[in-house]
Chain A
Amino acid sequence: MEYSGLFSLVPLIVLLPVAGLLINIIFGGRMSEKAIGSLASAASGLAFVVAVLLGVALRTGSGEAVVVPFADWIHIGDLNIAWNFRVDTLSVLMMLVVSGVGTLIHIYAIGYMHEDVRFKNDIGRYRRFFVFMNLFIAMMMILVSGDSYLMLFVGWEGVGLCSFLLIGFWYDKDTLGWPSTANANAARKAFIVNRIGDFGFLIAGFAMFWAFKDLSFGGVFTQAAQVASVAPGVILFITLFLLVGVTGKSAQLPLYVWLPDAMAGPTPVSALIHAATMVTAGVYLVARSAPLYTLVPQAQTAVALVGSITALFAATIAVGQYDIKKVLAYSTISQLGFMVAAVGMGAFVPGMFHLVTHAFFKALLFLSAGSVILGLERGHHHLAHQSGSGSPESPDSGHPVTESPDSLHSEEAFDPNDMRNMGGLRKQMPVTFWLYVIGALALAGIFPLAGFWSKDEILADAFQKFPAVYLLLTIAAFLTAFYMGRQVWMVFFGKPRHAAAARAEESPKVITVPLMILAAGAILGGALNLPGMHSLTLWLEHTIAGVEAGEFNFLVAGLSTVLALVAIGLSWVLYGRQPLAEGQKDPLKKLLGPVFTVFERKYWVDEAYWAVFVNRYVDIARFLADVIDGRFWHDWFHEKVIAGTYNWLSRTVLDLRVDQQFIDAIANGLGRLTKRISSDLRRLQNGFVRSYALAVLAGVVIILGYLILK
């Protein structure tokens, strides 16, 4: 295959982060904190440079997909599965997002991890964090750059592993640095729920191999139309099971439950993995599988419905949350629902467009939230020192908790993630405030920020093709603007509701500068695919056949803008006009009553899953452990059958019969015989010399007689 020299750089996209993590593993022990973080950031940044070069190569070339062979992987008989890189407009777009946003988050993490209250100069953890982050970038690159469903699956599992490792990064401490297994549990939950989705992906992969005898994108897509004409059910089967995989990885109904818990990870992880990149892998998968999905409208409908219902469902939950990161987590699920709905409707370009803009503003929001949390922790740290009654303590060693029982008490009550502890932060943290507002407006879809353009493309497509989806998504968009408004009013306006919030401090430059770059992306990201220019559509049409530039629908755009403004106004009425006071109930709770409680308790989905699945599973596990393993295998089979038989054999048969009655008899008999003979023979030794002499004589006579008579 002919391709220009730049394309042969593509393996570097994986190898550079791998090199970064290897250097950090091998030499990181002797490197300083700054060096470790900088190296990891540089590895990610160089991967971004490579991605840019690949984009340039595509732009200057024909723009068609280029497959770069890299290594042979599996070679069995005729089956030959190679690790090939696929460079096309779709994969390069993903590479740019992953490495670009990833690099900024790496830089941010240098500052964030240093400031985390749990860090306390634990340099080994610091290194491990960046090793995991680089591993994540490498795995995500494998995912987006692989040329077959198998390589995609390798990356898919790899990012799942990184997600697990990073959610449970503080596996022994909670957000306050207290010993707790909550984070480890959250990591396990994410891993296990993702396994269910991956199971669907695997089934789809097996079916694909069965139907096409090939897993490479080119091989599958060229045969797809022909197979679909013979057996459309097969394609439907494959696409629906791929959808199961998508619901797992991209946190859609019914497998979304892991993502809110994944917020247990450090905030840069929440931003990178659980908002900007990994969770969009499902959207990428559907967009990549566009040739399959366009063949089966039923599967497309299913995807669109799953996405849009998730979008609305998660948006309602976000309204009732108090944890600053949980609101963003449900918002992420909701926005992923938008993307999934878009790619499900066949609006692949708007879906990918929203993926890119969302990566910018959701990463911005998460990282700003991280900055808020750090600010609160700093404020709380001052507070604890103040109340520490002057006991000597160095600022670096030990948690403030160790000072006195009083501060320990206040420590327990304080959660730096809880928006009810915030308030009035715009004065203490002005930079973070403005960045957060930009992110929130972009997410709410206010003109001319990035979210406006991408969301409206989705809505415009839905308006034309899928009225039901349009309705669901519009309500979700309304709620989005409302909960973001609620969050901004609660966090940044009014008076501080906690002493720590009053003493919060702005974050250092290493944290705010990456945020500014992301904010620029959140403002200008819409330029990627402005109506009339459609640069992203033109870019992606090389890869996804049949995409057409959607028309800008003034009705849809106007309506959604009005709705967003109304929602923000509503949030002002509830939360801005009369700021929440300390200990006051949420005003929405008075308005909605039990409905708000339903939102706040997340529809009891987790509890329902516990009751229906987890507890049943635990029951089965108990049954297997107690009855099958304990009573049957251990008590009966091992104890009774095996050990009992052995004991009977050894005691009754071998011991009594063989040993005691046979072998002992031989030994004892020999002894008795010797004893008897000797007691008889001793009588011959009577001590009379003359009888000995007679015996000698008799002996001589006998021998001589024998010799003579012979």
Chain B
Amino acid sequence: MAQTIPLSWYLAISAMLFTMGALGVLIRRNPLIIFMSVELMLNAANLAFVAFARSFGVLTGQIFVFFVMTVSAAEVAVGLALIVIIFRNKHSINVDLMNSLKG
């Protein structure tokens, strides 16, 4: 068997992806970008799942990935619908303008 890429590399990429996603969520103001960043974080998690699944030779992680993909698809559908509604009301999709729920 050819020399395999060690698990830690996958995990490092996953961590980098996750961090980039998190930063994107925190920094960007465009909700579309934020969604994309969230997808990035989810996929970082997926990458970690499949890497572990492959490394330990069990299928659980791969099945979990399918669930995550399904949920993220549903989430995006709902989120995009919300964004459309918000744009209709505010004529903007800047998340910093949506701060009326404050104490």
Interface residues of A (CB under 8 A from B): 681-690, 693-694, 697
Q: Do most interface residues of chain A lie in helix, strand or loop, or is the interface mixed?
A: helix
Q: Is the CB of A687 within 8 A of B22?
A: no
Minimum Cβ distance to chain A for residue B27 (Å): 8
With beta carbons under 8 angstroms apart, the residue of A687, A694, A697 that contacts B102 is A687
Interface residue B101 (Cβ < 8 Å from any Cβ of A): yes
Rounded to whole angstroms, the CA-CA distance of A683 and B100 in the bound complex is 13
Rounded to whole angstroms, the CA-CA distance of A686 and B103 in the bound complex is 6
Rounded to whole angstroms, the CA-CA distance of A72 and B98 in the bound complex is 105
Rounded to whole angstroms, the CA-CA distance of A686 and B96 in the bound complex is 10
Rounded to whole angstroms, the CA-CA distance of A683 and B99 in the bound complex is 13
Rounded to whole angstroms, the CA-CA distance of A685 and B27 in the bound complex is 19
Smallest CB gap from B25: residue in A? A693
| Chain A residues with CB under 8 A of B27 | 690
Q: Is the CB of A686 within 8 A of B99?
A: yes
Q: Is the CB of B25 within 8 A of A690?
A: yes
Q: Is the CB of B98 within 8 A of A690?
A: no
With beta carbons under 8 angstroms apart, the residue of A682, A684, A687, A690 that contacts B101 is A687
Given contacts A690-B95, A690-B96, contact A685 B26 (CB under 8 A): no
| Chain B residues with CB under 8 A of A683 | 103
Interface residues of B (CB under 8 A from A): 22, 25-27, 29, 95-96, 98-103
22 A-B contacts, Cβ less than 8 Å apart? A683-B103, A684-B103, A685-B101, A685-B103, A686-B99, A686-B102, A687-B100, A687-B101, A687-B102, A688-B95, A688-B96, A688-B99, A689-B95, A689-B98, A690-B25, A690-B29, A690-B95, A690-B96, A693-B26, A694-B26, A697-B22, A697-B26
| Chain A residues with CB under 8 A of B100 | 687
| Chain B residues with CB under 8 A of A681 | 103
Minimum Cβ distance to chain A for residue B5 (Å): 25
| Chain B residues with CB under 8 A of A689 | 95, 98
Rounded to whole angstroms, the CA-CA distance of A688 and B96 in the bound complex is 6
Q: Is the CB of B25 within 8 A of A685?
A: no
Minimum Cβ distance to chain A for residue B13 (Å): 19
Rounded to whole angstroms, the CA-CA distance of A688 and B25 in the bound complex is 12
| Chain A residues with CB under 8 A of B102 | 685-687
Smallest CB gap from A693: residue in B? B25
Q: Is the CB of A690 within 8 A of B26?
A: yes
Minimum Cβ distance to chain A for residue B53 (Å): 22
> Given A689-B95, A690-B25, A693-B25, list of 18 further CB < 8 A pairs?
A681-B103, A682-B103, A684-B103, A685-B101, A685-B102, A686-B99, A686-B102, A687-B99, A687-B100, A687-B102, A688-B95, A688-B96, A689-B98, A690-B27, A690-B29, A693-B26, A694-B26, A697-B26
Top-9 shortest CB links A-B: A687-B99, A682-B103, A687-B102, A685-B103, A686-B102, A687-B101, A689-B95, A688-B99, A685-B102
Smallest CB gap from A691: residue in B? B26
Minimum Cβ distance to chain B for residue A667 (Å): 25
Rounded to whole angstroms, the CA-CA distance of A160 and B29 in the bound complex is 114
| Chain B residues with CB under 8 A of A685 | 101-103
Smallest CB gap from A682: residue in B? B103
Smallest CB gap from A684: residue in B? B103
Minimum Cβ distance to chain B for residue A685 (Å): 3
Rounded to whole angstroms, the CA-CA distance of A662 and B68 in the bound complex is 59
| Chain A residues with CB under 8 A of B26 | 690, 693-694, 697
Minimum Cβ distance to chain A for residue B81 (Å): 17
